[in-house]
Structure 1
Amino acid sequence: MNRLKQRGLTFLVLLTTAGMMTGCGGSSTPDLEKALAKTAEYEQKTVTSPASDSLGGEWTVIALARSGEKAEDNYFEKYRANLEKKLKEQDGILSENKYTEYSRAVLALCAIGEDPSEIGGYDIQKPLEDYETVVSQGLNGAVFALLALNAQDPQANKDGEVQKKYLDYILEQEKSDGGFSLDDNATEGDVDLTAMTLQCLEPYQEEESVKDTIDRGVEFLVDAQDADGGYTAYGDKSSESVSQTIIALSTYGIDCNEDERFQKDGKGLYDTLMTYYQKDGSFSHTEDGDSDPMATDQAFCAMVAYERCQNKENSFYNMTDHR
C-alpha cells in the first residue's frame, strides 16, 4: 500500500532539547520532560485556535490537557467556543455517519473538565448510543466510542448497556495472531489498530477473557516490532505506529523504554520515537521527513501517556483527574 493510502487510513482511524534519558537509551535521546515542554510550546504556537477537527484541534487539546504543561490563557476556552460555534452552525450535527467526530470531541471536553452532555445546548454523547451507526464505521468507530463513553468515570460507566455492546463487538474482531485490524476482511492484525484497541480495554482488564485479549495484543506488538525498534504499517515505517504503541503500553503500566521485550540494540520505544523528533519540538512521519501535524499530535499524546505512566498517574484516557 502506498504512503498516500496509508496516511488516509491513519487519518480515518484518528479521527488522533537535548539531554539524557534515564534508562537504556543512547546519549542522543532527548530528555522526556524537556522534549514534552518543547512539543507543548510548539503545538500552541502552531495550533493557535484549536478547532473541532482531527488536525489542528482536539488531539492537541487532549494531549495538552492531559499533560502537566502550562496552557496559554484561554486556550481551552477557545476550543470550547469553536466547538459551540460549529455545533450551532450545523444544528448540533458533527457528522451524519462518521461518529468518531463525536468521540473525539467528547474526549476533548472530558480532558478539560467540561460536560459533553451540555455543550452549546447539545448533548454530543448521545449519538454514541447509536450502536449501529457507530459500528458501521468499523472497529475504530467502536474503539473511540468506548473510550469516549468511559472517559469521565470508567468504573462507573463501563458496565452501561451500550458500552457492553461495544466491548463484545470489539472482542469479536480479534485476529488469530492476537492483533486487530481496520480491515474486517484481513486475516492478520495491524499495529495501529491493535494499539488503539488495547487502549479502550483498560476498564475491563480485571475480566479474565479481556485480560487474555490484552496479553495477546501486547505480544502481537512485541512480535510486530522491527529489528531496529520501529514499526512498519501498510509498507511504511512511521512515528505514528510507535506513538500508538507507547500509549497502549503506558495504559497498563508497561514502561516502553525499560521493558526488555521492546528493546532493540540498546534502545527502547521512547528512544525510537525520538528519532523522529525535530529541534522545534515537532515530529516527522518518517525519520528523514519534515515536521508533520498528525505525527506531532500523536507523539505529543504518546509522550504525555508515557510521563503519566512513569508518574503512576491515571492513564491517558482515564480522565477522572481532568484539568
Structure 2
Amino acid sequence: MLNPQKKRKECYFAGILAATAAISLLSGCGGGTPSLEEALKKTASYEQTSISSPASDSLGGEWAVIALARSGEQAEDGYYEKYRANLEKRVKEQSGVLSENRYTEYSRAILAARAIGINPADIGGYDLVKPLEDFDSVTAQGLNGAVFALLALNADRADTNGELEQKYLTYIIDQEKPDGGFSLDDSSDTADVDLTAMTLQCLEPYATEEEISAIIDRGMEFLAASQAADGGYEAYGDKSSESVSQVIIALSTYGIDCNKDERFLKNEKGLFDNLMTYYKKDGSFSHIADGDADPMATDQAFCALAAYQRLQTGKNSFYNMSDVK
C-alpha cells in the first residue's frame, strides 16, 4: 500500500428483498444518508468508472473485482474479462511469480479468480494456488499471510480439512492474544481491530468446532469492547473507515447484523451508520472522517457493503464462494 499505516492493514471483506423501502430501513439513518442498496449501487458504479481496467494489484483492481462479483451488482460488459487478461499478462511476464516475499499477492488473485468463476490453478498456464503450499514463505509475512492463504484455499469450500489448511489453521489460532483478539505484531500482547476482524473471517469454515467457536466468541467480544463511544474504531493511530469495514465483514460472516446487534450500537447507531459517515456522494469513501476519497478505503467499504447485503439477502458469506458457477 502507498500509505505505510494502511500497508499494514493488508499485510494485507436467499432472494431479493421485497422492496426498496424495506432495504432502506437497513441504514437506520435519516437526513439523506443513502440506504444499503443505494450505497452499494453507487459504489459499484464509482469503482468501475475509476478502475476501468482492473489490474492484478492490491490497489486498482482485485479488491474491486472481488467486491463487485460478490455484490451481485451488474458488471460492465467485458469488465471481468479485462481483469483476467491483465492477470494473465502479469503472470506470464513474471513467469508465474507474483512476488518473492508477499504471498498475499497469490491469495488475493486466487480470491478474485474464484469470485468471477475462473480456475486460479490455470492462469496463463501457471498454477497460482501452488505457491501457498510453501508454508514458511507464506507465514514469513506473519499472521496476515496465513489468514489470507486460508481464505483463498477455502474459498470454494472444496477441502477445508486438508493437511495444508489445518496447518494454517493451527498457526492462526496459536496467535490469539490474551484479550481475545489478534495482531499483526507477533511479539505484542495487545490485539488490533483489523487483524482480529480478518482472522474471524477466515475461521468461518471451522465455526462448528468447539475450540474454534470459542475463539470466534472471544474475538467478537474483543471487537465489541474495542468500539469507541462514537461507534467507530481506531487502528494504527487513526479512526478509519477501513477498520469499520473489516468489522462489518466479520459480523456479516457469522450472521450478525452490524446495525442491529446491541453489542455494536452506540447512541442507537450501528456500524453501517458509522461507515456511511465516510461516504462521498459519488460512491467513494474516505480513510478518515472528512477526508478525501481514498482508493483503499473505497475498496474495503465496497467489500463491507457487499458482505452486509449478502447477509440481508440470505446468501453465502462474502468469502464463501461455493455459490459461484
TM-score w.r.t. length of structure 1: 0.95
Q: Does 1:252 align with 2:254?
A: yes
Q: 1:199 and 1:95 mapped to 2: Cα distance? A: 24
Q: Does 1:25 align with 2:25?
A: no
Q: 2:29 and 2:71 mapped to 1: Cα distance? A: 25
Q: Match of 1:121? A: 125
Give the superposition deviation at 1:21. Answer: 3.8
Q: Match of 1:312? A: 314
Give the superposition deviation at 1:44. Answer: 0.2
Q: Match of 1:144? A: 148
Give the superposition deviation at 1:296. Answer: 0.2
Q: Does the 8 Å contact 2:26/2:35 carry over to 1?
A: no
Q: 1:215 and 1:276 mapped to 2: Cα distance? A: 28
Give the superposition deviation at 1:8. Answer: 2.9
Q: 2:301 and 2:90 mapped to 1: Cα distance? A: 27
Match of 1:211 among 213, 221, 229: 213
Q: 1:6 and 1:301 mapped to 2: Cα distance? A: 20
Q: Does 1:37 align with 2:38?
A: no
Q: Match of 2:284? A: 282
The letter of the residue matching 1:86 is R
Give the superposition deviation at 1:4. Answer: 5.0
**Residues 24 and 116 of structure 1: is their aligned pair in 2 closer, same or farther, counting only changes over 3 Å?**
closer
Percent of pairs with identical residues: 68
Q: Does the 8 Å contact 2:226/2:233 carry over to 1?
A: yes
Q: 1:312 and 1:88 mapped to 2: Cα distance? A: 39
Q: Match of 2:62? A: 58
Q: Match of 2:11? A: 13
Q: Does 1:102 align with 2:102?
A: no
1:258-283: CA deviations, max 9, x gaps? Answer: 10110001100000000000000000
**Residues 4 and 123 of structure 1: is their aligned pair in 2 closer, same or farther, counting only changes over 3 Å?**
closer
Q: Does the 8 Å contact 2:285/2:293 carry over to 1?
A: yes
Q: Does the 8 Å contact 2:117/2:324 carry over to 1?
A: yes
1:72-113: CA deviations, max 9, x gaps? Answer: 001000000000000111111100111000000000000000
The letter of the residue matching 1:8 is K
Q: Secondary structure at the match of 1:116?
A: coil
Q: 1:130 and 1:9 mapped to 2: Cα distance? A: 22
Give the superposition deviation at 1:23. Answer: 5.1
Q: 1:4 and 1:223 mapped to 2: Cα distance? A: 27
Structure 2: stretches of 5+ with no match in the other structure: 14-20
The letter of the residue matching 1:297 is D
Give the superposition deviation at 1:208. Answer: 0.2
The letter of the residue matching 2:150 is L
Q: Does 1:201 align with 2:220?
A: no
Structure 1: stretches of 5+ with no match in the other structure: none
Q: Match of 1:47? A: 51
Q: Does the 8 Å contact 2:63/2:303 carry over to 1?
A: yes
Give the superposition deviation at 1:5. Answer: 3.9
Q: Match of 2:166? A: 164
**Residues 35 and 204 of structure 1: is their aligned pair in 2 closer, same or farther, counting only changes over 3 Å?**
same
The letter of the residue matching 2:7 is G
Q: Match of 2:237? A: 235
Q: Secondary structure at the match of 1:157?
A: coil
1:117-175: CA deviations, max 9, x gaps? Answer: 111000000001111110111000000000000001x2x31101010000000000000
RMSD of the alignment, in Å?
A: 1.4
Q: Secondary structure at the match of 2:11?
A: helix
Give the superposition deviation at 1:321. Answer: 1.3
Q: Does the 8 Å contact 1:87/1:93 carry over to 2?
A: yes
**Residues 69 and 117 of structure 1: is their aligned pair in 2 closer, same or farther, counting only changes over 3 Å?**
same
Q: 2:151 and 2:115 mapped to 1: Cα distance? A: 12
Q: 1:280 and 1:111 mapped to 2: Cα distance? A: 25
Q: Match of 2:16? A: none
Q: 2:7 and 2:141 mapped to 1: Cα distance? A: 14
Give the superposition deviation at 1:25. Answer: 2.2
Q: 2:27 and 2:294 mapped to 1: Cα distance? A: 27
The letter of the residue matching 1:27 is G
